[in-house]
Chain A
Amino acid sequence: MKPTNIKDPEYFHKVVDCQYACPAHTPVPEYIRLIASQRYTDAYMVNWESNVFPGVLGRTCDRPCEPACRRGRVEEEPVAICRLKRVAADNKEDVTGLLPAAGKSNGKKIALVGAGPASLTVARDLAPLGYELHIYDENAHGGGFMRSQIPSFRLPEEVLDEEVGYITDNGNVTTHYKQRVDSLKSLLGKDYDAVFVGSGAPRGRDLPGLPGRDEGAESIHIGIDWLASVAFEHRSKVGKKVIVLGGGNTAMDCCRTARRIGGADVKVIVRSPFADMKASPWEKDDAVAEDIPIIDNHVPLEFVIEEGKLVGMRFDRVKAEYDDKGKRSLISTGEEPAFYPCDEVLVAIGQENSFPWIERDIDIEFDKWDLPRLDAATFQSTNPKVFFGGDAAFGPENIITAVAQAHQAAISIDLFCRGEKLDSRPAPNVNLVSQKMGIHEWSYDNAVCDDQRYLVPHAEKSAALKDRKLEVELGFSTETGFEEAQRCLNCDVQTVFTDNLCIECDACVDICPTECINFIENGAEADLRGRLRMPANNSEQDLYVSGKLPTGRIMAKDENVCLHCGLCAERCPTSAWDMQKFLYQVSKASLIPGLPE
């Protein structure tokens, strides 16, 4: 193998598993260390710079960082990254003084359609540059789906209001709430320099052909519309017996909401096997804990109507079969269809994009799925003035993806308005600093704690089920937050090897608890991986390879389960190993305060 090019920021970036997996690349270990040192405000600002909604995300994020967390490969459970973010948000001081001020006007005006996380992020990134930002949303308040879909028992309104306010209170941002944009053409006709479409994926899928759908219409609701009507208090009751169709997070929010507003017997019924359900494992756990059975392998056959009234549903029982390529088909077991009685049905089987308000003659091309054709890096549509982001761009995802895309769209809009090329994207902001303070002394806490993941306490179930707005998860106390923060392995503190200092004494090989380090004859990657002290079987993790050493061998380190404990560097007599903190920050359109000195 060729020596690893550690000058390429992507190499060490990839070693920080959580940050690499995060769509916005939030510097996770950096803020976890700040939490451990009780610097909650600083920890919050590191988050805010990157993901804009730390309080919201600390409760609701899909947390792709956690399955990626190294800790999960070393012991059972990853660090509770998401819940630590909430510790920062819950315990921070007033941050309003730290937020960027409205920039001096640059004379440019941008319209943003929708006030969800995507538009809000674009607004935040552009406001310091002096853009005049106009956000349009059909609802009375900002937040998009964070407000209309995510129930208050998962995300209290105050938390959302606060973080939306940090953006909309900026003097360069004007909100036009309760104003639906009915024509993009006419919006383009106004004097905007660019338009950002952050309108989400607002159409819930239905079961139009299913027998009984029309007759039962009064008792059959589209999940996302129903959730919005509960959130906006147009609806406060549901029948006693409720069936929720679907296996995603929307289904979980529907069933848990139904339990709180009168549903005594609420069931989730899903086509696929339990394990294949789209909902996050913890959301399934939470639903089951609220006495909601999840009945899998049931395909809806009909809504059963008696005397003009919905009385239940009939399902075909199926089993899943997978072909060689892993493609699933659901095969009927041939048994009698199953009947479940119910008063109401919530259809939560997915959502899709819908742009009835975008005319098809304004140079915005749509593909065969009726999605706009976009440049995947710049988020520009075929009409150079119009940019997309969030669920509106490539279909429904989640908040953190919307934020990450919006950062890029904001950069594009700024480049566009300044007449620059959109592909001259700013490089990430990186820094690599030795943590050495003295012989065997590091400026990070290198001891590895072997505690198991701490559990977040929950509100009393009986109280929670009575009050739709009572937050279920209580969050970590600062004490538990500290203990959990100690579990982080500091994957951003990199093991940096300088080959011309190495005397091949083997001290690092001998000390490394996880046998990562090897002095070995070079070879092709696959061969080398197999010959290491511990074969490097996880091909998603890189090998760090040095240049030739005096004995003709090379140093090869498997990054996979390195604990970042610093022992190799402590035992190295020549400092050929050093522990260096690597900071990687995705550049934003403007300089947002975040990293403390």
Chain B
Amino acid sequence: MSYVRPAFRHPESKTNAEGFTRQDYEGALSTLCAGCGHDSVSSGIVDACFELGVWPHRVAKISGIGCSSKTPTYFLGKSHGFNSVHGRMPSVATGANMANGEMAYIGISGDGDSASIGLGQFGHVARRNLNMVYIVENNGCYGLTKGQDSATTDVGSKSKKGDPNPFEAIDLCAMALQLGATFVARSFSGDKEQLVPLIKAAMTHNGFAFIDVISPCVTFNNTPASSKGYEFVRDHIEATGKMDFVPVRSEITANYEPGFTKEITLHYGSVIHLYKDDKLDCTDRGSAMRAIQEHNDKGRILTGLLYVDPDSKDFHKVQQTVKQPLRDLDEEDLCPGARALNAINGSLR
């Protein structure tokens, strides 16, 4: 078994606008099962960060417990990381974000981590609109503990163990929409053409950006009768339409495809181009919820960007807390002096 990746890369590999190679965004060699969907998500994150040109040291990866939550070791090896307690990634991410609002936060979780033990935390971080990317690598089972059904397992779906699941599934996208998340998408680990632009858009969004990525567990839940296996997902998947992410920088070169039908400008000036004019209006929460429901009723899995609020106000803005890293606040900021204190006291009288 190989423990290290060879050092050589393609001799024609390019660097990004910030001078980094793709290799600068890689992590340690994965120890997940061969063929696990989670590894593809990691690779998608590497691609997205490379293409966006983020600075690795300006990113923090935070996760809970599970095979999915192990993955931050396998990407962005030069970034910050915190592998927290089962289901508690949102609290740690919230704390970190409060202390330093200028970093990019990528939360990685699993369906067990978010929809079972961490459901409460998930709900609250969504409604607070914390500025972070929240990815659930959803395999419909507890992979790490050997494949028990999870809260996102569909009714009747059968894992390797073979018993049909009797319970109703939680749809995390629907829940996120209902709880006020300002960016909601669903994707599939086996479709990087869709996943990578979604991650890029999510990283550029100002607020809580949630992506539910169906990510098959090859070892315990990739049977023909499982609704989260490669084959089933490929047979039942439907996309909201092709999406392009156009970062601020490339407006100048304008090398994106023409012919888009909708353009959404994000907070910092990057743009999302949507190419299909179907019934879904991604800027309308109700439309997104209906689309999910309609596809569910037909037994189809709707993927792609479901909802985005380009004018979203993140937690700092709502709370009027400082986005600036707390460590950078100097004495003058922290102790505004007797006059300021008197003014506050005066206002309370």
Question: In the assembly, what is the distance between CA of A505 and CA of B231, in Å?
Answer: 10
B13: chain A residues at CB < 8 Å are: 515, 534
In the complex, B329 has a CB within 8 A of chain A: no
Give the nearest-CB partner of A438 in chain B.
B1
In the complex, A528 has a CB within 8 A of chain B: no
In the complex, B299 has a CB within 8 A of chain A: no
Which chain A residues in 504-527 approach chain B with CB under 8 Å? 504-507, 509-511, 513-515
Interface size on A, residues (CB 8 A): 36
A563: chain B residues at CB < 8 Å are: 6, 8
CB distance from B169 to the nearest CB of A (A): 23
B9: chain A residues at CB < 8 Å are: 513-515
In the complex, A364 has a CB within 8 A of chain B: no
Instruction: Check A73–B39 contact: CB distance below 8 A.
Output: no
In the complex, A74 has a CB within 8 A of chain B: yes
**B2 CB contact (under 8 Å) in A450, A515, A534, A567:** A567
B37: chain A residues at CB < 8 Å are: 505
* Interface range on chain B (Cβ under 8 Å from partner): 20 to 34
Give the nearest-CB partner of B189 in chain A.
A506
Contact A503-B1, Cβ < 8 Å, known A573-B33, A573-B218: no
Question: In the assembly, what is the distance between CA of A510 and CA of B8, in Å?
Answer: 15
In the complex, B349 has a CB within 8 A of chain A: no
Instruction: Check A448–B35 contact: CB distance below 8 A.
Output: no
CB distance from B43 to the nearest CB of A (A): 4
Which chain A residues in 418-454 approach chain B with CB under 8 Å? 439-441, 446-448, 450
Instruction: Check B2–A446 contact: CB distance below 8 A.
Output: yes
In the complex, B12 has a CB within 8 A of chain A: yes
CB distance from A232 to the nearest CB of B (A): 49
In the complex, A184 has a CB within 8 A of chain B: no
Instruction: Check A448–B7 contact: CB distance below 8 A.
Output: yes
In the complex, A465 has a CB within 8 A of chain B: no
Question: In the assembly, what is the distance between CA of A10 and CA of B40, in Å?
Answer: 34
Question: In the assembly, what is the distance between CA of A536 and CA of B222, in Å?
Answer: 34
In the complex, A350 has a CB within 8 A of chain B: no
Instruction: Check A510–B43 contact: CB distance below 8 A.
Output: yes
In the complex, B190 has a CB within 8 A of chain A: yes
In the complex, A75 has a CB within 8 A of chain B: yes
In the complex, A550 has a CB within 8 A of chain B: yes
Q: Which of B11, B34, B234 has the most CB of A within 10 A?
A: B34
In the complex, A561 has a CB within 8 A of chain B: yes
In the complex, A566 has a CB within 8 A of chain B: yes
Contact A510-B7, Cβ < 8 Å, known A534-B13, A572-B34: no
A509: chain B residues at CB < 8 Å are: 43
Contact string against A for B residues 29-44, beta-carbon threshold 8 Å, 1 for contact and 0 otherwise? 0100111110110110
In the complex, A106 has a CB within 8 A of chain B: no
In the complex, A296 has a CB within 8 A of chain B: no
Question: In the assembly, what is the distance between CA of A515 and CA of B47, in Å?
Answer: 12
Give the nearest-CB partner of B192 in chain A.
A506
**B35 CB contact (under 8 Å) in A74, A503, A513:** A503
In the complex, B298 has a CB within 8 A of chain A: no
Contact string against B for A residues 74-90, beta-carbon threshold 8 Å, 1 for contact and 0 otherwise? 11000000000000000
In the complex, B5 has a CB within 8 A of chain A: yes
Instruction: Check B8–A514 contact: CB distance below 8 A.
Output: yes
Give the nearest-CB partner of B74 in chain A.
A510
B216: chain A residues at CB < 8 Å are: 505
Instruction: Check A507–B36 contact: CB distance below 8 A.
Output: yes
Instruction: Check A447–B2 contact: CB distance below 8 A.
Output: yes
In the complex, A581 has a CB within 8 A of chain B: no
CB distance from B264 to the nearest CB of A (A): 28
Question: In the assembly, what is the distance between CA of A271 and CA of B216, in Å?
Answer: 68
A561: chain B residues at CB < 8 Å are: 8, 10-11
B230: chain A residues at CB < 8 Å are: 503-505
**B190 CB contact (under 8 Å) in A75, A504, A514, A574:** A504
In the complex, B4 has a CB within 8 A of chain A: yes
CB distance from B75 to the nearest CB of A (A): 10
In the complex, A105 has a CB within 8 A of chain B: no
Give the nearest-CB partner of A571 in chain B.
B34
A537: chain B residues at CB < 8 Å are: 12
- Give the secondary structure class of A's interface: loop
Instruction: Check A440–B1 contact: CB distance below 8 A.
Output: yes
Contact string against A for B residues 211-250, beta-carbon threshold 8 Å, 1 for contact and 0 otherwise? 0000010100010000000110010000000000000000
In the complex, A556 has a CB within 8 A of chain B: no
In the complex, A186 has a CB within 8 A of chain B: no
Contact A74-B34, Cβ < 8 Å, known A505-B190, A505-B218: no
Question: In the assembly, what is the distance between CA of A493 and CA of B231, in Å?
Answer: 31
Question: In the assembly, what is the distance between CA of A566 and CA of B10, in Å?
Answer: 16
In the complex, A231 has a CB within 8 A of chain B: no
Question: In the assembly, what is the distance between CA of A514 and CA of B231, in Å?
Answer: 28
Instruction: Check B40–A570 contact: CB distance below 8 A.
Output: no
Contact A506-B190, Cβ < 8 Å, known A561-B10, A574-B35: yes
B189: chain A residues at CB < 8 Å are: 505-506
Question: In the assembly, what is the distance between CA of A362 and CA of B1, in Å?
Answer: 66
Instruction: Check A507–B8 contact: CB distance below 8 A.
Output: no
Question: In the assembly, what is the distance between CA of A439 and CA of B39, in Å?
Answer: 18
CB distance from A341 to the nearest CB of B (A): 49
Instruction: Check A73–B11 contact: CB distance below 8 A.
Output: yes
In the complex, A565 has a CB within 8 A of chain B: yes
Instruction: Check A534–B10 contact: CB distance below 8 A.
Output: yes
**B6 CB contact (under 8 Å) in A448, A503, A505, A571:** A448
Instruction: Check A440–B6 contact: CB distance below 8 A.
Output: no
CB distance from A594 to the nearest CB of B (A): 31
**A534 CB contact (under 8 Å) in B5, B8, B12, B222:** B12
A462: chain B residues at CB < 8 Å are: none
Question: In the assembly, what is the distance between CA of A515 and CA of B4, in Å?
Answer: 16
A551: chain B residues at CB < 8 Å are: 234
Contact A507-B40, Cβ < 8 Å, known A551-B234, A572-B34, A573-B33: yes
Which chain A residues in 539-571 approach chain B with CB under 8 Å? 550-551, 561, 563, 565-567, 570-571
Question: In the assembly, what is the distance between CA of A514 and CA of B37, in Å?
Answer: 20
B190: chain A residues at CB < 8 Å are: 504-506
**A571 CB contact (under 8 Å) in B35, B42, B192, B222:** B35
Question: In the assembly, what is the distance between CA of A563 and CA of B6, in Å?
Answer: 8
B39: chain A residues at CB < 8 Å are: 507, 510-511, 571
Instruction: Check A570–B2 contact: CB distance below 8 A.
Output: yes
Give the nearest-CB partner of B22 in chain A.
A515
Instruction: Check A515–B234 contact: CB distance below 8 A.
Output: no
Q: List 19 A-B contacts (CB under 8 A).
A: A74-B11, A440-B1, A448-B6, A450-B8, A503-B218, A504-B230, A506-B40, A506-B189, A506-B190, A507-B36, A511-B5, A511-B30, A513-B5, A513-B9, A515-B13, A534-B13, A571-B35, A572-B35, A573-B218
The 6 closest A-B pairs by CB, nearest first: A573-B35, A448-B6, A440-B1, A510-B43, A505-B35, A450-B7
B residues sitting closer than 8 Å to A (CB atoms) are 1-2, 4-13, 30, 33-37, 39-40, 42-43, 189-190, 192, 216, 218, 222, 230-231, 234
